[in-house]
Amino acid sequence: DQQVKQNSPSLSVQEGRISILNCDYTNSMFDYFLWYKKYPAEGPTFLISISSIKDKNEDGRFTVFLNKSAKHLSLHIVPSQPGDSAVYFCAASAEGRDDKIIFGKGTRLHILP
Amino acid sequence: DVKVTQSSRYLVKRTGEKVFLECVQDMDHENMFWYRQDPGLGLRLIYFSYDVKMKEKGDIPEGYSVSREKKERFSLILESASTNQTSMYLCASSVPGQGGEKLFFGSGTQLSVL
């Protein structure tokens, strides 16, 4: 059973507009959430993270929002730029556990000119 | 910057061959991981290691084994390659306790098994 779900396989957004990527999780033990970005033929790179004690974390054009009661997080990119076209993976982990990060299946973001 | 290097970008092997995928990291990270990425399936963990000579199974270990004889090197072994192991293989490393284990990935090895 998927513990981290990205229900939109792809998303197209006009350049300059806001991109919103969504992620749901089922395991209430998760307390760190991360977003990774992946270009074709490259490994994923860390983008932004959020602890469960926060509901928002911002880094430049990227903001992640966490709604613990809904077990939902979202990544906002504003304004969207052509270089943002990539696959975005949502991931979650539980701190202090000898465990591993659980990834979603990814959302492919297309920024349209 | 952390550098995670995978020995091959592209690899073509025959069914039944033994395949070695090598990964080296240069930042003295304790943790190392092997993932595979398939379209529509995302990243799935094969094996991970938290220390030299230590290994733990991930979500899909069947058909794979690993070796970690030195801290900086983590090898993935396909004992007898099969066509369903055609995939993009990604190695990663991290330092434990980094707030959710921020992973540093290599560029990946696209393996085709014919």
Q: What is the mean pLDDT of residues B55-65?
A: 94
Distance from CA of B100 to the nearest CA of A (A): 5
Four-CA torsion B76, B77, B81, B82, nearest 10 degrees: -50
Judge: A100–B104 Cβ closer than 8 Å, yes or no: no
pLDDT class of B2 with cuts at 50, 70, 90 = low
Partner residues linked to A50 by β-bridges: A33
d(CA B35, CA A69): 30
Residue A41 forms contact with B (CB below 8 Å) = yes
Residues of A in contact with B35 (CB under 8 A): 103
Residue A105 forms contact with B (CB below 8 Å) = yes
In 3D, which of B68, B58, B78 has the Cα closest to residue B25? B68
Q: What is the mean pLDDT of residues B35-62?
A: 91
Averaged pLDDT of chain B: 91
Residue of chain A whose Cα is closest to the Cα of B92:
A43
In this prediction, what percent of chain B has a pLDDT beyond 70?
Answer: 94
Kindly write down the DSSP assignment for every residue of B52-87, as one continuous string. TT--EE-S--TTEEEEEEETTEEEEEESS--GGG-E
In this prediction, what percent of chain B has a pLDDT beyond 90?
Answer: 72
Tell me: pLDDT of B31 over 60.
yes
What values do phi and psi take at B77, rounded to 5? -120, 130
Instruction: Please state whether the peptide bond connecting residue A79 to the residue before it is cis, i.e. omega within 30 degrees of 0.
Output: yes
Q: A–B: how many Cβ contacts below 8 A?
A: 63
Averaged pLDDT of chain A: 92
Q: What is the mean pLDDT of residues B46-53?
A: 92
d(CA A42, CA B92): 12
Residues of B in contact with A46 (CB under 8 A): 102-104
Residue A53 forms contact with B (CB below 8 Å) = no
Q: What is the pLDDT of residues A38-75, one digit of tens each?
A: 998 889 999 999 999 999 999 999 999 999 999 999 99
pLDDT class of B42 with cuts at 50, 70, 90 = confident
d(CA B32, CA B103): 9
Residue A30 forms contact with B (CB below 8 Å) = no
pLDDT of residue A31: 87
Judge: A43–B100 Cβ closer than 8 Å, yes or no: no
pLDDT class of A83 with cuts at 50, 70, 90 = very high
Tell me: pLDDT of B67 over 60.
yes
- Pick the range with the lowest mean pLDDT from A17-21, B20-24, B91-95: B91-95
Residue A56: CB atoms within 10 Å: 10
Distance of alpha carbon A100 from the chain centroid: 17
Residue with tokens 């959710």: B100
Q: What is the pLDDT of residues B73-106, one digit of tens each?
A: 999 999 999 999 999 999 999 877 665 567 899 9
Distance from CA of A90 to the nearest CA of B (A): 10
